[in-house]
Amino acid sequence: MDNIAKHLANILAPLVGNTPHHIQNSIDFVNKKDLAEHLKSLLEKKAADILNEYQQTGTLSTSSRKKLVKLSVSDLVEKYGFYPPAAEKLHLAKSLITLFTALKMMVSGEGDGFEHFYDPLSHKGFIEIKLRNIRQNLEEGQRRYLKRKLPYSAASAAQPSVDEDPSEWLAVIKRMKASPENMAPIKTAMEKTFSYCRNWISTQSPTLTDTVQQYPRFIDIPSLLDTEFGKMFEGKAELFIRRWESSIIPKLRKFAVLEKGVVSTLIEQNGDQNDDEECYRMLQVLTHVLPPTASGRGAAVSGRCSVKSALSYLLDFVPHGTSIPSLCDRDEGSLTTHQPQLVCIGALTSQARQFVIVARNDKVTIPLHDDSLTFALDKLFRFYWVCNVAYPTQLVSVFIFLEHIYDLPVSKTVRRSRVLELIDKLQALA
């Protein structure tokens, strides 16, 4: 392991910023001192008993420490919202031990003494626990996005044993820039941390922001989503690409012709279309057959939202030339999108179109280099599973149908029966 560490140090040395360590340490000290002074002022106003106890005893009781964390985290939430950046959580942890130096705690003789408040590697600690407790009581509209409850075998498969310390490999993932010459070590690091990643995501339920901070290469190397998903579901990763256009779309088209009403009209209006337009048309068919619920736009509005509105939770369109960073700033009006979605920059008929995975509330954008809607849809599905994010409420049934195409056991929800009925009808078609 020492040899690996030395080798990684040589690799990472040119990748670290150019700020001299003594200057950076001075900056960090000033920042911690400023926040520590702010915390001291806050405690003098709201919990002077904590300062008095520390002055008299040189330490804090468990109840006082809990009160300290509660007040400091409340102040953090007031400044940065319910999902403060990891850097601010780390800043707070360091400032707490600056103000209360006796609270330093070295775990197994390692670390800097603040990790029990917030550990940036494992995303654990008193600060993180308090934030998660606060989020449990949030209303749906206040949540960034919903986490999935891992079904069937994925729950156990996502919690393998973690035998090797992943810190050195995580450093490679975080600090190595995405470039052809770095691909081999990055892929090796991803493979070495796979067990840790799955265990961390399934047991700690990190926010999407935390996930991409821990694994930033998912952003600039989307193909790593394919690798991760393939390891999660051995032998099933390519099933959607193989089945969707060659088998599922022809059967959906036949099924739609036999249906009456709007579904058959969608097919009758069909003229010459490219593959992307055909894919989008079949998504419209699926959304008609597996209609969205009222939860997307409010139960008081209608028993179901329109297909156009429902599909915008899966795929939205913006004009050609729209910048990717601006996709997180768009005002969606009544269509508040909490879950990640696809955004197509340009029309489906344009050769210059581009698909982007956008998690607006977390300011996450993943430009895709795949040249078709089918591949982009496949990538979005993998993203949901790799990051353990729940499907959009408005399109749960559609995504459950996609599970069937991947040959995953269909999720057991209240809408499962309608999906199984459609599957049976398609299987009956020659």
pLDDT, one tens digit per residue, over 31-46 is 556 888 899 898 999 9
At 378 the pLDDT is 96
pLDDT in tens, 263-290: 777 776 656 678 899 999 999 999 988 8
Q: In this structure, what DSSP letter does residue 415 have?
A: T
Instruction: Judge residue 428's burial from the number of C-beta atoms within 10 Å of its C-beta, 0-12 exposed, 13-18 middle, 19 or more buried.
Output: exposed
Distance in angstroms (rounded) separating the CA atoms of residues 311 and 336: 13
Residues forming beta bridges with residue 60, ordered by sequence position: none
pLDDT in tens, 319-350: 999 999 999 886 544 345 678 999 999 999 88
Check: CB of residue 66 under 8 Å from CB of residue 103. Answer: no
At 229 the pLDDT is 95
pLDDT in tens, 99-143: 998 888 865 556 788 888 888 877 778 898 888 888 877 766 666
| Average pLDDT score over residue span 190-213 | 90
Distance in angstroms (rounded) separating the CA atoms of residues 378 and 373: 8
At 297 the pLDDT is 38
For residue 334, the SS3 value is coil
Kindly tell me if the per-residue pLDDT of 383 is higher than 60: yes
* Cβ neighbours for 192, distance < 8 A, ≥ 6 positions apart: 164, 166, 169
| Average pLDDT score over residue span 171-189 | 90
Distance of CA 279 to the CA centre of its chain: 25
- What share of the chain in percent tops pLDDT 90? 37
Identify the residue with better confidence: 20 or 105. Answer: 105
For 364, phi then psi, to 5°, come to -110, 125
Taking the alpha carbons of 274, 277, 280, 281 in that order, is the dihedral positive or negative? negative
Residue 250: CB atoms within 10 Å: 13
